[in-house]
Amino acid sequence: MSSEFRYRRVVQFAETDLAGIVHFSTMFRYMEEAEHAMWRSVGLTIAERDGPFGWPRLSAAMEFRNPLRFEDELDVTVRIAALKTRTINYEFVLSCGATLAAAGSIICICARKQPDGSMRATPIPADIADKLRAFVKS
């Protein structure tokens, strides 16, 4: 299996601004959609109903290169730059054909839901880490 995951989607009209360009905030949603699709590809879900874990974001960044427009076919490539004890560092490349639209990153932490509703950082369960290892950047 490749150490990257590719997710393809088409830009929808509602995702564009008055200039007809994808709004910058939407690019972060594209990254998150690709992350979730990657998890599903190995039989996981990032948001198990009533599950004990959550994956809060510690940081998210994006460098914009070229605009995306309505009906552009977008590829989002995801790699895990680092799979640590409690955190996952993702790298994303968003492209339209051969044109780089943006590059981004997200760092999330595994957190266990506490009885009082708060969350506390916890090690990533081994079964999840084992399945995600296929996407760790070599």
pLDDT in tens, the chain (138 residues): 468 999 999 999 999 998 999 999 999 999 999 999 999 999 999 998 888 999 999 999 999 999 999 999 999 999 999 999 999 999 999 999 999 999 999 999 999 999 998 999 999 999 999 999 999 988
On the CB side of 8, CA atoms within 13 Å amount to 4
Range of the domain at 65: 5-135
pTM equals 0.93
Query: What is the spatial distance between Cα 73 and Cα 98, in angstroms, rounded to a whole number?
Result: 11
CATH of the domain at 69: 3.10.129.10
Assess contact for 80 and 90: CB atoms under 8 A.
Answer: yes
Query: Domains in the chain: how many in total?
Result: 1
Q: Report whether 121 contacts 86 (CB < 8 A).
A: yes
